[in-house]
Structure 1
C-alpha cells in the first residue's frame, strides 16, 4: 500500500465513521449533527495518532528503563541478579524501535477532519 493510499483510506474511514456515529448518536442527520459527529471522530483520530507518535518516538523507553532499574536495585532478588549479569542492564539501555505505518495518516486525517468540522461549524 502506498502512502497516498494509506492517507486516503484513513480519511475515508474517518468520514464513514463520522456519518455512522452521527446517525447512531443523534438518530437524525442534519448539518449540526454531522459537524458534531465529525468533530468527535476527528478528535478521536487526533488523540490516537498523537499517542502512536509519542510511543513511536520512544518517550516511554526511558521511563520503563528507570522503573526497571529502580525495582531491580531496591529488591533483594534484583541485587542477586545484578551480581550475576550486568550485561542485561546494558541491553535494556538500547531503545526499542516502534514503527507504526498508520501514525501519520491517522494524525493527518484527524487534523483534517477537525479543521473541516470547525470550518463547517462557522457556516451554520
Structure 2
C-alpha cells in the first residue's frame, strides 16, 4: 500500500514557470542535483472554482521521461494565463538509484505572474520558481 512506501525528501527538483512568446508561459522541470533521474512521471492539472462558486478543473496531462540528467532543465509544457486563477498542480514521481521519490508542487491562484518572477540561473531567464 502507498502508506507503506517511504518517500524521502529531495530538494534538488524544482518547477519554474517562465513567460514566453505570444502571451504563453513555459513550465520547466529543473534538476539542480548531481544525480541522474530515471523513469520520471509528471502529471499536471488545474483545479479551483469559477465566479459562481462551482468547482472547475482542467484536463490532467501526463508526461514521461526515461531519464533526466544532473544540473539540467526540461521543458514540460506550455501553460495559458487563462488558468492562472486556478491551483496549478504538478505531481512528480521518479527514481534516483533504487529509491522512489514523489513530490507535489502547487502554484496557488494568481501566483504565476510577472511580479513573482526571479532570475533562475539554470534557465538563464526570469521565472516563477517553486522549490
Report if TM-score (shorter chain) is over 0.5.
no
Q: Which range, TM-score by smaller chain? A: under 0.3
TM-score, normalising length from structure 2?
0.23
Task: Report which of the two has the higher share of helix.
Answer: 1
Task: Report which of the two has the higher share of strand.
Answer: 2
TM-score, normalising length from structure 1?
0.24
Q: Which has the higher contact order (CA 8 A, sep 6+)?
A: 1
Q: Which has the larger radius of gyration?
A: 1
